[in-house]
Structures are given as structure tokens and as C-alpha cells.
Chains A and B, each alone.
Chain A
Amino acid sequence: MRKFNVFLVLLALLALLAAGCGQAERKPLVEETKGSLETGGNFPSFSLTSLDGKTITSADLFAGNRVTLVNFWGTFCGPCLQEMPSLKELSENYAEAGLGVVGILIDPQNADKAREIVAGQGTGYPTLLDDGSLGAGISAVPTTVLVDSNGQVLTTFVGSRTLEQFGQMVEPYLK
């Protein structure tokens, strides 16, 4: 009669436990750069390429608007795509009030698919390709960050929103 080797199983489990504890997670941006997505923090500075090949810097982007709505999204994210029409309408409705909207794609390896999506949606606002430095700092997509003209984060929220909800969020900062 052979005995089931519990010791070996326990050893394997302990090894797995140690592997999990020892795994170095991808460090969030907030620990590596001088920037934060927390309310009151300074949005991390960036220089990113848009889907149509232009280079856009954070300084120029934020200074050009009273408030900039930065929307992190991914091509795999259904709720992200579903809220795009709302963001398009929001950007049109509040453009004169000084609102700028920009998307940041967190899976830039799918840029071709993103171009199809954006073309199909007709978003009207630029989408930038994350270079890996910003996406690591968010918990989930979609994440939306409101930033003032000085690059200071006004508020951050996770999850998709309706046009009405987006309006309620940006209006206090545009008065």
C-alpha cells in the first residue's frame, strides 16, 4: 500500500505561497513618477502620440482648456466603448465653456482596432496611445480624470457614466 505523500503536496503549496508573496507586481505610476491621479495631485506629465500620429504633451493639453477630461479606455472594454458617444456629445456641448476631452488607450498594441472603433464612433476628440507609464496607475477601465489648466487633478472616478452624469461632474468646474 502506498501512502499519498501529503508532505510533497504541502511543500508544493508552500512554494506557491512563497511565489505569490515574492512576486514583484508592476509598480503603479504614482510611486515612480512625480505625478498622481488622486484628487489634488498633479497629473503625471506625458508626451504621447495620438492615433493620427501627432505628439501631444500634457502641458500643452491642460493649458489649452479650463478643464480637461482624460478618459482611460481599452479596446477590450465594453463599457468604455458604450460611453464614447456620451463623451463625444459632452465635448461638443461644453467646448465653448472650456472643456477638452481626450482619450488614453491603455492597450496601445491594439491601436489599429482602436482606430476602427474611433472612426466608427466619430468621437471628435483625440485618443492618445499610452506608453505604459500611465495605465499602470489606474485600477480599472474606464477611469476618468478631470484636470484643471494647471495640471492639477480635480476628481477621478471609475466606471462608465451617462451623458447626464458626465455633465453633472464637469459643470461645477466650468462655472
Chain B
Amino acid sequence: MVDTKRRIVQILTAAAFNSHFTGFARGTIYRGDLKAVCLPVLNCYSCPGAIGACPIGSLQAVAAGSAFQFSFYVAGFLALVGVLVGRMACGWLCPFGLIQELLHRLPSPKRLLPAWTRWVKYVVLVLLVLLLPALATDAFGLGTPYFCKWLCPAGTLEAALPLALANKDILGALGTLFQWRLTWLLLILIACVPVQRFFCQTLCPLGAIYSFFNRVSFLNLGFDRSRCCNCDRCAGSCYLKLPVTAGINHPECIRCLKCVKSCPTGAIYWGIQIPGKKEEPISA
């Protein structure tokens, strides 16, 4: 059963984060003051509709610039989101996460990924987002946003394609790099059909960042073993087939809360836990 509330929030936030609708018709991007604000999800800055900045793109833009190597503003913002809700932004707010989930609903044999594939996104984060843009610079001190340029499928889907369709100047500038990006995007989207949130699990550097916060965030999941009847409905309902009762607040958990809804005894719940205060369960 589709978790309706979450789907509604996903659709609304995708629309809200990309609500500069005239950009799609004109083939231009929004350049107003709101663009200085980071969105909490992977959402391309160059999407014609985007009203905020992509945090991963922003990290790379600062690292690749000649003035600074690291953006404390973006890092602080992501830490704030992580401390508040952990990886819930992935599960409830990310437009590209929504697209992957919708693709996974297409009929096909479904597959789980080997555990080691989840470590690739950390390599992507460190190498392509943080280090290479800052260190691999040209004679002018300018680097390249390697993740944005070579790997980000959201950029191709949300920015390159709509801009090229509406702006003939951009269309005329497309070359072999776009051919690679389009191929890569199609591979990712195809992989999402048998594998739930393939990109999130294996490659998303923002998911990698948020994963550090799941165990310490104010909003978290709880497990009352005394109420558990070992029915395993929680693991069965989990989008990512995580061992819910063996490791609540798993780094891969996107906090869709399906396990909470599926638990017949209320053994799994979610709540807000502020350090120093008693945990307050929101639901049981």
C-alpha cells in the first residue's frame, strides 16, 4: 500500500522546490535572492524551476572556486538538517528520490544490492565532491565540479534536458559530454526499476552525508523489544529491506516510517529525542 501522506509531501516539495515554472517555458533559470539558500535535497541549481541551490553543487562550486576550498555554510546547513531529522529529507523531500520510487513501481523482478555497494557513495562524496574539485585545479586556481559534471543524474534530468528543450543556445552547446550524461541517466533510471532507490543506495553523496546523522538526530526511530512479536513485518515492509529490529536508525534508513505503520504491536515507533530530555514518542 502506498504511504499516501509521504507521497503527497514528496510531490508538493518537488513542486515547491522547483516552482519557478516560467523557467521551463523560457529555458532560463531563476536568479533571484532565494537562490542563495540551499535546499535540503539533491535538486540541480540549473533546473529551470529551482528556487534554491543544490547543497552538493554548492559544496563543489566553492571547492572548485579560487577563493575557498570548503563551504562551512553548506556543511553547517546539512549538519543542521541531519541533526534535526537525519535522512528523513531523503525519504520525504527529495524529488529524485520520488522519481526512483515511482520507477520501482514498474513491474519487474526486484533485486537487493550486495552490502558493499553502499560504500561507493562515500567514495563519491570524498573524491568527487570534496577533494578533486579543491585539489585538481588549473593554472587559474579553478577546479571542476566533478560529481555535477560527470555523475549526477538529477542534473541531466532536471536541468540539461529541460534547458536544452526550451533554449536553442543551450541545445547548440551540447556535445559528447551530454551524450555520456544521457546514457548514464538512462542506466540509473533503468537500474531503479529492479532496485529500490538505486542511486540513493549506491551513489548519492548527500545521502552519504545524512547517513552519519541517523543515529544521533533529534527525530529518530525507537524499538521496544518487549513488545516485539518477531513477525518481521517491519523488515518486510521496509523499502530497502533493512534489518529493522537488528539495527534501528540504520544509516541507510530514509525514514519513510513504513515499518512503524506495519508494526502490529507498536514495538517500533518514531519520536523526538533532544539530548538531556526524556524521549517523546510521536507514534506507537
Q: Which A residues are closer than 8 A to B by beta carbons?
A: 1-4, 6, 9-10, 13-14, 16-21, 23-26, 28, 75-78, 81-82, 113, 117, 120, 136, 139-140, 143, 156-159
Contacts and interface: CB of A to CB of B under 8 A. Distances in A.
A75 B17 CA distance: 29
Contacts of A3: 282-283
12 contacts: A10-B8, A16-B19, A20-B16, A20-B17, A20-B51, A23-B34, A25-B22, A117-B140, A139-B169, A139-B170, A156-B169, A157-B169
Contacts, number: 104
Interface in B12-31: 12-13, 15-23, 27-28, 30-31
Contacts of A13: 9, 12-13, 16
Contacts of A136: 31
B237 interface: no
Nearest to A113: B66
Interface residues of B, number: 43
B140 A17 contact: no
Contacts of B19: 16-21
B281 A76 contact: no
Given A1-B282, A13-B9, A23 B172 contact: no
B118 to A, nearest CB: 28
Nearest 6 A-B pairs (CB), nearest first?
A: A20-B19, A159-B173, A16-B16, A20-B51, A17-B16, A158-B173
A105 to B, nearest CB: 14
B281 A19 contact: no
B18 A25 contact: no
B278 interface: no
Contacts of A28: 28
Nearest to B143: A78
